[in-house]
Structure 1
């Protein structure tokens, strides 16, 4: 197998792909990147699952923005997930907009973009697509699956829905279900997109997206990824390129300018309809629902070892959510390690410089 760092691929898997909501896709495209070499016994594979606004470019430059991969602090030479030792896979999720089948994809049945005709998807559907990819790659059992936020949801789902496919699970800043507060924030974002006249019922042209609505959705969501302490430390009430307030509605404060930049840059690399579908999939996420509301029962058949990591200032997926998962794993008799790490950076702490997290993950993978 080619050992170049960051080898980009896209495959089309023919045949119907049934979805949890009752829809069926006529075929499945999966865009993914690999790092390292799969060994002869296919026992050194690690699947890295991305969060809501991530993609397959976990440790290599993004083709649109030119920025470095989103988790180069964890994945790369000399890092805990080192391609010299592991065969690392990261796939764009089902419903995404970086090559995997999603609402911007062309429906092979009529040659037109799916748009809002795309069927509603779930996190288990995303994981089922990744299992199809593993089958294609000849990987029966993963050495580990690692993910933060929605990536952590996928990692937990893999252990529950496909218990023989993974030995170790690392779920960071994650939860076993989406809370009412999480759903509420997502709904604000979706309504911002759908209220943009350019959305056109989801039938917008690729070069005329609902940019304003998507930017506002990103701004609102980005606040939830941070913390009051982090925002205060980084921005406080400092003004942006001026000595006094304007008494208008320009970006007087640095934090306003920062959020506007986040919104505008996001529009360059993400599809509005994908945002609608992926946030909806996260809202539907509830591992215990299919098991009479018992999370312990959901984990009853798992064959994996677990490592959960949370952060003190994460109010989007607070430590209480991780503790709930730990209690359920304990009740199911599954081996689990858990650590809450100090950080002022909120939910996004797992993407930033987190040496303690790296040490925890390295120790778990090599134990």
Structure 2
């Protein structure tokens, strides 16, 4: 674990962020090929974690896993604009001496990738074996292939589409409106993220879109206690849980950055292996595959799951082997050349 300073960063908007830092996890084989892991909306840099505190992707990354830490060096950054150590709305603005809060500038996915490229250079990394991530992380993986094809040998975008669809934009709009229209939000100068219902509601909107109706129906049905249905209690709990650990201004910054995602017209030269998941309301395979068919070198897999969009965070046995195979197939091809 650590932080890396990259100095000033010129954003796509033309604004300049000063004294930018990215928090990161770096583990695995120190002399092995480097894999960059990109987390999703509310994730963080603790992808692999430890035996005592497994990371959020420990089912995919770690000793003996598809991203084998005995073979690869694995790096994960807390995204720019996040709230787990990287420069974001909770950071001190060096120009004003005050916390940014809602004064933090809007970001794009490209801004995040540019920041991580500079951070990797600072860490002494000259080449990436692959960039892998799901959802927001998948957006970043695609942008890595578009912006830095000379720096990464391949990309593995999961649970993502080449652009953020109208349906996905609609869900983000609901979440943004729920936060910004809550009087307790106070234009970003709230007392604490856990204090206002708008943030709770924004999270529940997301939770409903991340998993399939079948999963909700099978898990909850119409079960209830004397006060509410179990599904209501579950969603309320998830909203409160996120609000205790995540900053609402960061949530807004990242949602709006996701809205900017669009590589629809890009032709990416590095090998691509993409995984889509059935019942993914936000990033359906039928929006991804036609784009992949136009790329120079792309393969894909569709995983049958009731988990929908959250498929990239679970049921690793269904798809991690394909990721492992792609990483080693790419090695064999390069060796043959």
TM-score, normalised to structure 2, is 0.93
Please give the per-residue CA displacement for 1:40-76, whole angstroms capped at 9, x wherever unaligned. xxx6000000111111111227xxxx97421111011
Q: Aligned equivalents of 1:260 and 1:147: distance in 2?
A: 28
Q: What's the CA shift string for 1:226-254, capped at 9, x where partnerless?
A: 10111111111122x34xxxxxxx4x211
SS, match of residue 106 in structure 1: coil
Secondary structure at the aligned position of 1:189 is classed as helix
SS at match of 2:292: helix
Gaps of 5+ in 2: 330-337
What residue is the counterpart of 1:350 in the other structure? Answer: 312
SS of residue in 2 equivalent to 1:167? coil
Pairing 1:226–2:211 present: yes
2:47 aligns with: 58
Q: Which runs of 5+ in 1 are unaligned?
A: 1-7, 243-249, 289-294
For 2:287 and 2:185, locate their aligned partners in 1 and report how far apart those are by CA, in whole Å. 35
Q: How does 1:276-291 map to 2 (within 5 A)?
A: 276-288=252-264
> 2:4: which partner in 1?
11
TM-score, with structure 1 as normaliser: 0.86
Shift of 1:208: 6.3
Q: Distance in 2 between matches of 1:202 and 1:171?
A: 32
Contact 1:34-1:88 within 8 A present in 2 as well:
yes
For residues 36 and 70 of structure 1, the distance between their equivalents in structure 2, rounded to whole angstroms, comes to 16
Match of 1:312 in 2: 278
Dislocated runs of 4+, deviation >4 Å? 207-210
Offset of residue 209 of structure 1: 5.2
State how far apart, in whole Å, the 2-side matches of 1:119 and 1:33 are. 25
Count residues with an aligned counterpart: 329
Aligned-pair distance for 1:18? 0.5
1:48 corresponds to: 37
> Cα distance, 1:225 vs. partner?
0.2
| Helix, strand or coil at the partner of 1:113 | coil
- Whether 1:215 and 2:181 are equivalent positions in the alignment is no
Give the match for residue 246 of structure 1.
none
* Superposition CA RMSD, Å: 1.7
**Residues 183 and 69 of structure 1: is their aligned pair in 2 closer, same or farther, counting only changes over 3 Å?**
same
Contact between 1:196 and 1:210, CA under 8 Å: does it hold in 2?
A: no
User: Which residue matches 1:152?
Assistant: 138
Name which of 66, 69, 74 aligns with 1:83: 69
Q: What SS does the aligned partner of 2:68 have? A: coil
